[in-house]
Amino acid sequence: MDLSYGEELEGYRDEVAKFLGENWPLQGEEAALGWVEQATVFRERAIAAGYLCRNIPKSYGGSEQEPNVLKAQIIREEFGKLQAPTEPRGIGTMMLVPTLLERGEEWQKQKFVPPTIKGEMAWCQGYSEPGSGSDLASLKTRGELVGDEWVINGQKIWTSGAKTADYMFCLTRTEPEQSKHAGISYLLIDMKQPGIDVRPLRQMTGGADFCEVFFDDVRTPKDWIVGQRGEGWLVSRTTLKHERNSIGSTQQTRALFAGLVALAKQSKIDGKPAIEDPGIRQRLAAVEGYVTAHHHSGYRTLTKDAKGESPGNITMMNKLISTNIGHDIARLAMDLIGDNGLLGPGARSMAGMMGGTEGWISQYMYSLGIAVAGGTANIQRNVIGERALGLPRDAAAERSSGK
């Protein structure tokens, strides 16, 4: 066990720090640009230096580096210190680009990957439907080949960023005569065309982070399909070997916990700082046990990834673990803010989550959104039970998948 990065990697850290010292923040005229333009200028330099888009080939605008999770971690740490721009966030870089690199046609990679990783092309994900949540493969949105075009009709829901997206990658039922998983294709759709109606969904927080998307004879070219017809389910499950950020979520959790401790110091119970209350101290320390365990668990995963070994079942558990911690922190925060828990969540976005009372009310609600998004906690428990612990599959799910 050795928790230092060692001489070679510390040398690498110095290189990264030197690059950042010379390149961020931008100087002179460039410093007057807007944030988006600044980020674009900086990203090009960071890619040229080999620090961003490391797993993307040079021919598609990446820096094509040997995978190295420890170097990737050092880059995140050093960039994080100066809040320098990293790869554009969003579903395009996270989901579509890896999928295209693994399964896409050459022309698709050339057309879509470079602008997406530069942040010039925004994507949304068309998976869930009103009747198809946990049972996603039952989706009904139809795609029919008419001449050289797919004609798409149906509805998607929980679509983050649909208002601003240029394109959608969309699971579509194109082979209705096939069994449910085998009837789905992975289509790319231009969002700026007639027949697409995007309606924001108002959340319990009052904000609107995602939308419903309605398709009425929406068209996309015949070859805007990733993989073959009927392979969409498999394509959507593509994961590329990449530099997994195994401690990203644990760092967020630690930051949230630090915010909770700060809140306990500011809040009062019977006129005294809440942090002096024995019950509050017990609960804080109990939550800290989970936060600290999750933190070290992240470093173990990082080590396993660096060695090219499997971290084991923990990777299937991380979502539920961070969800549980989020609930604990939110509940304790609501007890700390007391009467202010009667107020609405003034802060209507994730931004400002850490500050003030409104932020904690928002966090109290958002922690539930996180518990549901991307597979509910109960679905996570199924996955852990069946794949990690080897328990038998649910009988209904088994029948429905035709296996």
Note whether 354 binds other proteins by CB under 8 A.
Answer: no
Neighbours of 281 (CB within 10 A): 13
Q: Is 348 within 8 Å of 207 (Cβ atoms)? A: yes
**Which ranges constitute the DSSP H helices of 104-175?**
106-118
Q: Is 231 a catalytic residue?
A: no
Note whether 31 binds other proteins by CB under 8 A.
Answer: no
Half-sphere exposure of residue 176, counting CA atoms within 13 Å on the CB side? 6
Choose which of 44, 240, 394, 401 interacts with other proteins (CB under 8 A): 394
Nearer to other proteins by C-beta: 138 or 303? 303
Q: Which of residues 96-125 bind other proteins (CB under 8 A)?
A: none
What span, in angstroms and rounded, lies between the C-alpha atoms of 284 and 257? 9
Note whether 389 binds other proteins by CB under 8 A.
Answer: yes
Tell me the sheet residues that pair with 226: 186
Note whether 269 binds other proteins by CB under 8 A.
Answer: no
The tokens describing 21, both together, are: 């010292």
Helix (H) / strand (E) containing 294: helix 278-307
The Cα-based distances of 291 to 142, 218, 298, 328 in angstroms read: 44, 47, 11, 10
Choose which of 38, 251, 292, 349 interacts with other proteins (CB under 8 A): 292
Catalytic residue among 144, 243, 288, 358: 243
Tell me the sheet residues that pair with 269: 272
Choose which of 36, 145, 146, 261 interacts with other proteins (CB under 8 A): 261
Note whether 134 binds other proteins by CB under 8 A.
Answer: no
For residue 88, the 8-state DSSP code is P
What span, in angstroms and rounded, lies between the C-alpha atoms of 397 and 403? 9
Question: How near is the Cβ of 358 to other proteins at its closest, in Å?
Answer: 25
Size of the site for other proteins (CB under 8 A): 56
Q: Which of residues 71-90 bind other proteins (CB under 8 A)?
A: 73
Helix (H) / strand (E) containing 200: strand 196-201
Note whether 303 binds other proteins by CB under 8 A.
Answer: yes
Note whether 142 binds other proteins by CB under 8 A.
Answer: no
User: Which of the residues are catalytic?
Assistant: 243
Question: Residues interacting with other proteins, by CB under 8 A?
Answer: 1-6, 9, 70, 73, 261, 264-265, 275, 278, 281-282, 284-286, 288-290, 292-297, 299-300, 302-304, 306-307, 313-314, 317, 320-321, 324, 378, 380-382, 384-386, 388-395
